[in-house]
Structure 1
Amino acid sequence: MKSILEALYRGQLHPDEAIVPSHPEYRVLSQQVAAQAEQWRNRLGEEVFRELEEYFDLCDSVNSMHVEAAFLHGFRIGANLMIEVTGKREELVTNAASGLSL
């Protein structure tokens, strides 16, 4: 198995394509969205519905940018947390025999 770092470097890591929410209501709500979209398509007609889909595509683009920014922000917080924690390791771990920090 390749390391995550190698997969990332080679462009083989695509977590956004593999994410399926585990929330118990996800599939039910997804089916409801699809059913309502079909109802709107029938009520509006193809041309108007296509315009509505273009609007939703714009909304999805904005939402995707927000989700990406939130992911990056959260990842940076996590990385900085790890740096902070490992940087203070010597203050937390002492050698029991000598009483000295490791």
Structure 2
Amino acid sequence: MKSMLEALFYGDIRPEEQVVPKNPEYRSISRRLSEAMELWKEKLSSEDFNQLEAMLDLRNQSESIYATNTFINGFQLGALIMMEVYTAKEDLLQDIKQ
């Protein structure tokens, strides 16, 4: 079994591909979104629908960038917290040794 660092190095860790929201509303909302897209496809001309899809693609790209930055920020914050906890452990151990 690879270590976490090896898996990260070789690109085996891809959290964005493994995240499936557990919120019970997720599937319902996804289904409703698909149904709405089908309705708009029927209502709009081919050109207008393509423009709508292009706009929604831009929105998805924007949300993806935001999610990536949120993940990075959360990971960095967690690492900083762990560093502080580890430093506090060292300080506590020094107090015990004295």
State TM-score, norm by structure 1: 0.86
User: Which is further off, 34-43 or 3-12?
Assistant: 3-12
1:100 aligns with 2:66: no
Task: Tell me the SS of whatever aligns to 1:2.
Answer: coil
Higher-helix-fraction structure: 2
Structure 1 residue aligned with 2:88: 88
Matched pairs, number: 98
Whole-angstrom distance in 1 between the partners of 2:11 and 2:34: 32
Task: Tell me the SS of whatever aligns to 1:100.
Answer: helix
Higher radius of gyration, 1 or 2: 1
Percent identical across equivalent pairs? 38
Whole-angstrom distance in 1 between the partners of 2:13 and 2:26: 24
Structure 2 residue aligned with 1:26: 26
Query: 1:93 Cα shift?
Result: 5.2
1:13 aligns with 2:13: yes
Structure 1 residue aligned with 2:77: 77
Whole-angstrom distance in 1 between the partners of 2:39 and 2:96: 71
Please provide the CA RMSD for this pair.
1.8
**CA gap 1:53/1:101 in 2 versus in 1, 3 angstroms:** farther
Structure 2 alignment gaps of length 5 or more: none
